[in-house]
Structure 1
Amino acid sequence: MPEGVPLHITARRLLGGLLALGVAAGTSACGADAEDDAGTDPAAATSDEGWTYTDDLGTEVELDGTPTRIAGLNDVMASLWNYGVEPVATFGQTSAADDVAFEGRDLADVEIVGESYGQIDLEQLAAAEPDLIITSVYPVDSEGTLDPASPPYGIESAAQLEQLQQIAPVVAIAYRGSAAEVMADVAELAESLGAETGTIEAARAEYDEAAAALTAAGEKGVSVLPVYATPSEGWWMAKAGDDPQLALYEELGVDFVDPGGDGYFWQSVGWEQVPDHPSDVLLYSLRGGMTPEEMAEQPTAARLPALEAEQAHPWKYIGMDYAAQAEYMAELAGWLTAAEDVTP
């Protein structure tokens, strides 16, 4: 099963039926509406009365002042750091030291309190004394429905969520729809946490330039397939419309292969069916999946046009912020521009 994507959410719902818990000391929690897509748009404000934030699950946090010691999920922490908000602690399905989103960052002053999904060193996190813990939340279906009864992403259970809430308020940003909307929410949160408006605007300008380049590259019409593969678990193909990052690229003109199937986010097939899903370009997950060289050792995958043409490139799961997306979109635009149409 692929790492770092919403299958964890589905697994927890099947295992659990866990109930959402109230926010502990220092916060007030407003339960989401009874409808499946409950929640409000993220909104943060700082005033003389303090700092307030309402997340996508309807959790409302009120603090006496702007939180300055931020901890949370790698994906969100990397984005905030790109705007100048440095975290005091991070956790995720991998160590921040091994996460491409933190490439080039000095992590000496950051406590890495989790290196695999749901495994968080609570004592180490508490010692970092965070004012706020931020993570993300994924939908449970292609319509973007959020499940307020399930713990946010990166948190393995309701019991663990309660333990985190004893350390600091926990809020979540919904990773759904297009990354364009998610990036706006992240930028708004970053600014409320002290990020300079000029830093955000400069990153947005770079993003706009990269978006134009990706649109131009997409006009070439080469097909793209993002995959996660392991010898034992087979071939998992992402559905672009269900991933905010890929959905954005599709909006900008990238031609993603539709892998079919009725499931959310992924369509998986056995190795014998891999040749039925050709593409001009293959994007391979960097989060635990096989490399192109390893894929090519599988007789069926070796016949894929993208692998034969050596048109396989990393699928980097990076932050929902203008700086990170601009950098990766520029890379992707270059790959598409250089790619040849090699599918039958």
Structure 2
Amino acid sequence: MSITGVRHLTRRGLLGAGGAAALGALASACGGGNGAASSGGGAWTFTDDRGTKVGPKARPRRVVGYVGTAAALYDFGVEQQLVGVFGPTRLKDGRPDPQAGDLPVGRLMVIGNAYGEFDIEKYAALRPDLLVANMFVEDELFYVPAESKDKIFALAESVAISTGAVPLPKPIERTAALAAALGADLKAARVTAAKARFDKASEALRAAAGANPGVKVLAASASPDLFYASSPAKNTDLIYFRELGVDLVVPRRLGQNGYFENLSWENADRYPADVIMLDSRTQALQPKDLGSKPSWRDLPAVKAGQVIPWQPEPRFSYAGCAPILEALAKSIQSAKKTG
């Protein structure tokens, strides 16, 4: 999923019961195989998506996380335990990066703001009880540097949430389960409201795709030298969009880990599309940056004004993903076929 500007990075069922009932079930599940939480200072365990069981210790009080993971946990009600983050957190002007979501960035220690940055001394000074991160590629915690991971993992236990090659609801549910294990109330009004909004948005996208069939959608990212066509077989949000009926382009020549195909700008038109979802992260080029590239200007979706922002790395919470589904539904509903 990490594509433009960090090309050296590797990464890797529809919803069941809705609303508060599903969230309540998730909270209850935290007492089973996927995790167990005590109400106070007793034993605490959680089994992550590597199959690694952390604990038994007291519930973690000081949690450091990859920014996207921390932001999703915050949406589910984990607040006071979060003490530090790493990954894209602040923009150059000091404002929070969009990937930080609603995190109170000002009170958190940022121990790394870009790929390859992870200040181990700052991390140790935070006295962490737990490190949490997304996992796009098996056994690789996102933005944890491979060359120093042993030193990092020696300082605190870690939890990985699988966020690759599974439908979007799965990492949301697993993040919710971790949040509940950390003491969050999944029956809180803001959480159940976000879940209801997500369910409604999912149905809106399904309806839009059904009402405007044949609209071809390409998920892509742009860099100065390459145009990346993303696979709906690996990207968790695209998997879900396709399950809801969105007609997504399937690239044929995928690279390592199968997330996307590298295209030279001369071949940017290899996959015809009516709508382009373009990576909106800060490391990727945006439409305003691409005006000098004739191959971009000539794409049918660009000519038709049907280019929309895409977040290849969504915030894996109901609050984080509901607006994404709503925006895509609106775009597909009004899209015109260009072929």
Q: TM-score scaled to structure 2, two decimals?
A: 0.82
Change over 3 Å in CA distance of 1:173–1:105 after alignment to 2: closer
1:204 maps onto 2:195 in alignment: yes
1:321 maps onto 2:312 in alignment: no
AA matched with 1:121: D
Cα distance in 1 between the residues matched to 2:159 and 2:168: 19
1:216 match = 207
Deviates more, 1:323-332 or 1:259-268: 259-268
Cα distance in 2 between the residues matched to 1:42 and 1:301: 49
Cα distance in 2 between the residues matched to 1:111 and 1:185: 25
2:10 match = 9
2:249 match = 257
Shift of 1:76: 0.7
Q: Is this contact kept in 1: 2:135–2:161, CA < 8 A?
A: yes
Cα distance in 2 between the residues matched to 1:6 and 1:51: 38
Shift of 1:296: 3.4
Identity %: 29
Choose from 142, 162, 172 the match for 2:150: 162
Q: Is this contact kept in 1: 2:37–2:183, CA < 8 A?
A: no
Consecutive unaligned residues in structure 2, runs of 5 or more:
13-31
Shift of 1:105: 4.0
Shift of 1:44: 1.1
Cα distance in 2 between the residues matched to 1:322 and 1:212: 14
Change over 3 Å in CA distance of 1:53–1:6 after alignment to 2: farther
Change over 3 Å in CA distance of 1:69–1:6 after alignment to 2: farther
Matched positions, count: 303
AA matched with 2:240: L
Choose from 110, 115, 119 the match for 1:121: 119
Change over 3 Å in CA distance of 1:260–1:312 after alignment to 2: same
1:227 match = 220
Choose from 301, 304, 308 the match for 2:296: 301
Q: SS of the counterpart of 1:235? A: strand
Q: Is this contact kept in 1: 2:133–2:160, CA < 8 A?
A: yes
1:332 maps onto 2:333 in alignment: no
1:54 match = 47
1:14 match = none
Change over 3 Å in CA distance of 1:102–1:257 after alignment to 2: same
Cα distance in 1 between the residues matched to 2:8 and 2:154: 27
Q: SS of the counterpart of 1:61? A: strand
Provide Cα deviations, 1:37-87, integer angstroms capped at 9, x if missing partner. Answer: xxxx98110237411012122322114321122111111111101111122
Deviates more, 1:185-194 or 1:214-223: 214-223
Q: SS of the counterpart of 1:320? A: coil
1:142 match = none
Cα distance in 2 between the residues matched to 1:276 and 1:216: 29
Choose from 107, 120, 127 the match for 2:105: 107
Change over 3 Å in CA distance of 1:83–1:111 after alignment to 2: same
Q: SS of the counterpart of 2:174? A: helix
Q: SS of the counterpart of 1:123? A: helix
Q: Is this contact kept in 1: 2:46–2:54, CA < 8 A?
A: yes
Q: SS of the counterpart of 1:237? A: strand
2:19 match = none
Provide Cα deviations, 1:229-270, integer angstroms capped at 9, x if missing partner. Answer: 1122x1111001201111111111111112221431111111
Change over 3 Å in CA distance of 1:274–1:228 after alignment to 2: same
Change over 3 Å in CA distance of 1:10–1:336 after alignment to 2: closer
1:243 maps onto 2:231 in alignment: no
Deviates more, 1:324-333 or 1:199-208: 199-208
Consecutive unaligned residues in structure 1, runs of 5 or more:
12-40, 140-145
Q: Is this contact kept in 2: 1:204–1:322, CA < 8 A?
A: yes
Bigger RCO of structures 1 and 2 (CA < 8 A, at least 6 apart): 2
Cα distance in 1 between the residues matched to 2:260 and 2:90: 24
Q: TM-score scaled to structure 1, two decimals?
A: 0.81
Alignment of structure 1 residues 124-143 onto 2, 5 Å: 124-139=122-137
Cα distance in 1 between the residues matched to 2:231 and 2:33: 26
1:27 match = none
Cα distance in 1 between the residues matched to 2:292 and 2:148: 41
Cα distance in 2 between the residues matched to 1:238 and 1:4: 15
Q: Is this contact kept in 1: 2:4–2:223, CA < 8 A?
A: no
Q: SS of the counterpart of 1:80? A: helix
RMSD: 2.4
Change over 3 Å in CA distance of 1:319–1:5 after alignment to 2: farther
Q: Is this contact kept in 2: 1:228–1:236, CA < 8 A?
A: yes
1:282 maps onto 2:240 in alignment: no
Change over 3 Å in CA distance of 1:110–1:42 after alignment to 2: farther
AA matched with 2:152: L
Q: Is this contact kept in 1: 2:71–2:101, CA < 8 A?
A: no
Q: SS of the counterpart of 1:88? A: strand
Give structure 1 regions of 4+ aligned residues with deviation exceeding 4 angstroms.
Answer: 3-7
